[in-house]
Amino acid sequence: MRLTGPKPQAPGKKRLIRTLTLCMVFTLLSSLAFSFWFMMTKRYQGVINYEDIELIQLEEPQKGDKTAVMHTTAGDMTFKLYPEVTPKAVENFCNLAESGYYDGTYVFRVEKDVFFSGGSADAEGNLPQGKAGTAQERVKQELSPKLWPLRGALCSLTTGTEKSFWKALTGRQDTYCGSRFLVANSIEMTQEIQDGLREDESDGAQLMADAFIEHGGIPNYSQQITVFGQLIEGWEVLDAITGAELTGTPDDMRPKEDIIITSVEIGTLE
């Protein structure tokens, strides 16, 4: 009696099929990995194009420039705003300021001599319950080769990222900012950091390195945070706030004595 059905495959043929299958899977995974790397690299390079660098924060303020005067219990600071570069962040900040949102809010975090964070009605920097998903906390991040976290930079703190596999794969994840802000002072520009800043020898990169080394700032925040303003008056107040004594409690970076933002006044430079 003869049995019918598929003939058994020779061991050598089975190994060949397994090898070909593994090669196909490896090739597919490699292609996906390369596509992910390529898209993310293109996205990063699209933001940091050294040929497009313009250090507009170092330009002399002009009559008619949009400004924000931040009144605090430590003194007043005047910032030039950049609505032409970061329109969404400036609009959100100005709307909140003019509505009185910042009146009586706290400086809730200080990195000694490096930065301070403020603009929260909660002393610990928490958003009011139910506010995390509101329009004022869902402002798309705006990054530009014209604005950098130099000393005195007014920045919008990140509130979250819209995560999905596809958006991560294509480099199109949306990062959002909100009402709270950060004002940069400066890290210590050690020789090691200066050497690192000068690793890229292109003209634009050297221009940026010179700016950080001469004026100070937080270079590791570059193109990671929305910069929408620059301090033009009140440098001593910035130093006083970032030099404030802290609570001394581990993981608590609040000033020992409350520093309050009494109001923010929007106007133009005269």
Phi, psi of 165 (to 5 degrees): -60, -45
Q: Give the pLDDT confidence score for residue 128 in this predicted structure.
A: 80
Considering the entire predicted model, what is its pTM?
Answer: 0.80
Written as six digits, the tokens of 5 are 């059905």
Give me the pLDDT at residue 8, please. Answer: 44
Q: How far lies 62's CA from each of 31, 91, 152, in Å? A: 51, 20, 17
- Report whether 80 contacts 230 (CB < 8 A): yes
Across the chain, the runs of DSSP E, i.e. the strands, are 66-72, 75-81, 105-111, 115-120, 139-140, 153-162, 174-184, 226-233, 260-268
**Over its length of 270 residues, how does the chain's per-residue pLDDT go in tens digits?**
444 444 444 455 556 566 566 656 555 544 444 444 334 334 434 456 777 899 999 999 999 999 999 999 999 999 999 999 999 999 999 999 999 999 999 999 999 999 999 999 999 999 888 777 899 999 999 999 999 999 999 999 999 887 665 655 555 678 999 999 999 999 999 999 999 999 988 888 999 999 999 999 999 999 999 999 999 999 999 999 999 999 988 889 999 999 999 999 999 999
- Note the pLDDT of residue 17: 60
What long-range pairs does 263-266 form, CB within 8 A, spacing at least 24?
Answer: 263/71, 263/97, 263/100, 263/102, 263/103, 264/68, 264/69, 264/70, 264/71, 264/93, 264/96, 264/97, 264/102, 265/68, 265/69, 265/71, 265/97, 266/66, 266/67, 266/68, 266/94, 266/97, 266/98
Model pLDDT, residue 22: 62
Backbone φ and ψ for 9, nearest 5 degrees, come out as -85, 145
SS3 240: helix
Q: What pLDDT does 18 receive? A: 65
Q: Which of 120, 182, 194, 188 is nearest to 152 (CA)?
A: 182
Distance CA 109, CA 112 (A): 9
Question: How far, in Å, CA of 121 to CA of 71, rounded?
Answer: 15
CB 123 within 8 A of CB 260: no
Q: Which CATH architecture has domain 52-268?
A: Beta Barrel (2.40)
